């Protein structure tokens, strides 16, 4: 079986600046994969290429065995952006209806899925309220619900824990594990090392557009709470020293 996400020597250059430099990555199906790095490391650019929103300058990308620029490939992907901005004049139900329509789902299916998902993310009580009245955390939860609407095989999440309160985080963590147990693949970028360590099967650490570590969490960080943070800091520091030499 092909990997959920496969990048081979992917480079994305903007003029002389390489936002992503010779990145090779393999995310197996049915796993949770954390994509780590400081700001400007190239995580969002990589995510955009995985979603087919941007093309690599060189290299090859395959998502669920297909080209992400092809709309047919994107049928398998659910995406939640980092900044949870949605149409402020819609309510959560209408937002789901809209995205469901874009996925080609019939309205009956969309309504049933929307009711179920909004209940799951704790927004059922506010489903008829305009999104402009939502808090940041509520918008983030609406984002989670819309990403799951088409029951995608691959879920791409950009900083999914931002804005979630501790209770919502626990619920979200459980949801992601449940999805993995159902064979779904979850690929997310994050600064939240604690959450990543608790959740992920595999990780990649990015720095200045390059992947500096990649592998299974337990192989890289070992067992024990807080190990990933130590690894992360050590890797970034050592890479910095190497770069300085």
- Count other Cβ atoms within 10 Å, centred on residue 245: 5
169 binds another protein (CB under 8 A): no
Among 101, 224, 226, 240, the residue binding another protein under the rule CB under 8 A is: 101
3-state DSSP call for residue 172? helix
203, containing H or E segment = strand 202-207
State which residue, 146 or 189, has the beta carbon closest to another protein: 146
Among 37, 42, 56, 100, the residue binding another protein under the rule CB under 8 A is: 100
CA distance 74 to 108: 22
Which range of residues in 85-93, 119-127, 177-185, 195-203 is near another protein by CB under 8 A?
A: 85-93
Among 37, 52, 56, 202, the residue binding another protein under the rule CB under 8 A is: 52
Number of residues engaging another protein in binding (CB under 8 A): 35
- List phi, psi (to 5°) of 219: -75, -40
104 binds another protein (CB under 8 A): yes
Among 48, 113, 180, 213, the residue binding another protein under the rule CB under 8 A is: 48
- The pair of structure tokens assigned to 218 is 């337990």
State which residue, 80 or 205, has the beta carbon closest to another protein: 80
Exposure of 196 in the CB half-sphere (CA atoms within 13 A) = 30
CA distance 142 to 241: 42
49 binds another protein (CB under 8 A): no
């Amino acid at each position: 079986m092909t990997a959920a996400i496969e990048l081979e020597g992917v480079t994305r250059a903007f003029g002389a600046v390489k936002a992503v430099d010779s990145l090779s990555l393999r995310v197996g199906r049915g796993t949770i994969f954390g994509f780590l790095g400081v700001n400007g490391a190239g995580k969002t650019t990589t995510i955009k290429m995985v979603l087919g929103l941007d093309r690599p300058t060189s290299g090859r990308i395959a998502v669920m065995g297909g080209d992400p620029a092809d709309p047919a490939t994107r049928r398998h992907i659910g995406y939640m952006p980092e900044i949870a901005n949605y149409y402020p004049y819609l309510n959560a139900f209408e937002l789901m209806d809209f995205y469901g329509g874009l996925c080609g789902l019939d309205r009956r299916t969309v309504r049933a899925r929307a009711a179920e998902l909004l209940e799951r993310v704790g927004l059922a009580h506010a489903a008829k309220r305009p999104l402009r009245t939502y808090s940041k955390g509520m918008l983030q939860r609406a984002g989670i619900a819309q990403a799951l609407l088409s029951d995608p095989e691959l879920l791409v999440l950009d900083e999914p824990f931002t804005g979630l309160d501790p209770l919502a985080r626990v619920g979200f963590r459980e949801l992601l594990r449940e999805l993995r147990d159902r064979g779904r693949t979850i690929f997310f970028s994050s600064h939240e090392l604690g959450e990543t360590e608790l959740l992920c099967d595999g990780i990649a650490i990015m720095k200045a557009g390059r992947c500096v570590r990649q592998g299974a969490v337990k192989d890289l960080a070992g067992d024990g709470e807080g190990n990933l943070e130590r690894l992360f800091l050590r890797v970034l520091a050592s890479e910095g020293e190497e770069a300085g030499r």
